[in-house]
Structure 1
Amino acid sequence: MLFTTSWLVAALAVTLAATLQAVTGFGAALILVPLLVLAYNAHTAVGMTMVISFCSLLLLTFQVRKSIVKSMARNLSLGGLAGIPFGACVFIHFDVTRLKVIIALVTLAFALLLLLDWMPRRTFGPRAQAAVGAAGGFLGASVGMPGPPVVLFLNHQGVPKEQFRATTSAYFCLVYPASLFLLLALHALDRQAILTAISLIPFALLGQALGTGIFPRVSQELFRRGVPLLVTAVALYSLATTLF
């Protein structure tokens, strides 16, 4: 049903998440899943996040397509496709709440390492990129949050903000629909969740427009330092909302 308290909270969350996503190329799921879980059950929240994130990312990817690092996006995506079936198995058969706690703790640890510059920078090849993509595919299909491993990996590699945003959005544009179609084929998603998510798409487009206007004002250094800080904050928030 539209215009309920839960729907209005979701509309605000979608606008904020889409704004962040347009600035960074990620972030919608990191914010949406914890917030939507406050209003809906975990499986419904994950399904809604997949639909909303994909719709907003599709437009962003088209706008920034010239900045995509194609070889990296390809390797990440191939790995992502391999990880999705395992994530779908977890989504169907396991307690998603416990998995969210584990993910939040691992994400927090890596984000803090990056934030404190304790991880030496080096260039990793196609195999490492595919492995990171697989981790993202697994998380995308299981908890609707493919971002942490891919975002932290690209930030660790020192990818310029334009290429960072374009490459992550291109990767997510493949992972989300692939996860969504598999879960729908397995009858693991509620139809009402999909319809509710579709009703929220206008708010995703609003956030997309706001974020696109903010992006040019963000410096490369602020972007590099801000990404792990943002992931740290969201991991803490996700952990708090899941446990309490």
Structure 2
Amino acid sequence: MESGWALAFPLLALAGLMTLVAAAIRGLTGFGMAIILVPLLGLIVRPDEAVIIAILLQLFIAPVGISKIVRDADRASAGLIVGAAMIATPFGVWFLAQTAPDMARVIIAAIALIAFLLVLLPPRPHSKPGTVETLLTGLAAGALTGFAAMPGPPVVPYYLRQTITPERARASMLLVFFGTAIAATLSSYLLGLINPKILSLSILLFPTVLIGNWLGSMAFGRISERVWRSAVALILGLAGFSAVWRLIQS
């Protein structure tokens, strides 16, 4: 890990490659950028810095394709989740600021693994989540957004366990993540966690996010629903187990 943020070109190129892959996964599945990117960037910068960079990158990319996202999404549930998430996000950001880097790595690894296990739960073909479950999903998403830039672990199972199309699930998740990115960015700024160096690196990495997201979006819709859902579970599983492996090796 480089000190003083004097990232050499090879490390910057590596960060760009990590970001490209994570953004392509986001474009394909509707989530996963932070789940993949935060543990990887944490090898180059501090875990808290990796989280803030991921938050900013999610905010930068969120408006891309927003009109179609709003049109395809389940706006009612997404609105409730975002509203609850905005309440909980500042607490997650505050907790991140108070947590030692080693403990943050442990928690982030656990979050990634739990997300995979939740997606493996059986679907609910004849039931739709009620208001209480939706609000609890939002509160959990907000807390995890602030702490790890990862609203996905509660949100992905919420939508994927319903019998809705991949287009609707993906759009709903992207709409939720737009709202959580706004809340997390505001909270991080107010708590003084966004500095010029973090902002500069985020801006440098953003072109790779645009390219990766475009590549993933091109692939979405060209694969079957079964393959898409399998890809979602596989990505979560790889992220979870790789995070645990890196934790064991550290």
Q: TM-score, normalised by structure 1?
A: 0.91
231, 234, 237: which one aligns with 1:232: 237
CA distance in 2, matches of 1:238, 1:214: 26
> Is contact 2:110–2:240 with CA below 8 Å preserved after alignment?
yes
Match of 1:209 in 2: 214
148, 151, 172: which one aligns with 1:143: 148
Q: TM-score, normalised by structure 2?
A: 0.89
More helix by share: 1
Q: Equivalences for 1:1-244 in 2 at 5 Å?
A: 4-105=9-110, 107-109=112-114, 111-112=116-117, 114-115=119-120, 117-118=121-122, 122-244=127-249
CA distance in 1, matches of 2:199, 2:117: 35
SS in 2 for 1:64: helix
Q: 1:56 to 1:97 in 2, by over 3 A?
A: farther
CA distance in 2, matches of 1:124, 1:200: 37
How many correspondences in the alignment? 243
Structure 1 unaligned regions, length at least 5: none
CA distance in 2, matches of 1:29, 1:157: 23
Q: Aligned-residue CA RMSD in angstroms?
A: 2.1
Indicate the larger mover: 153-162 or 195-204: 153-162
Shift of 1:157: 1.9
Letter in 2 for 1:156: R
- Percent identity (aligned): 26
Structure 2 unaligned regions, length at least 5: 1-5
Indicate the larger mover: 219-228 or 123-132: 219-228
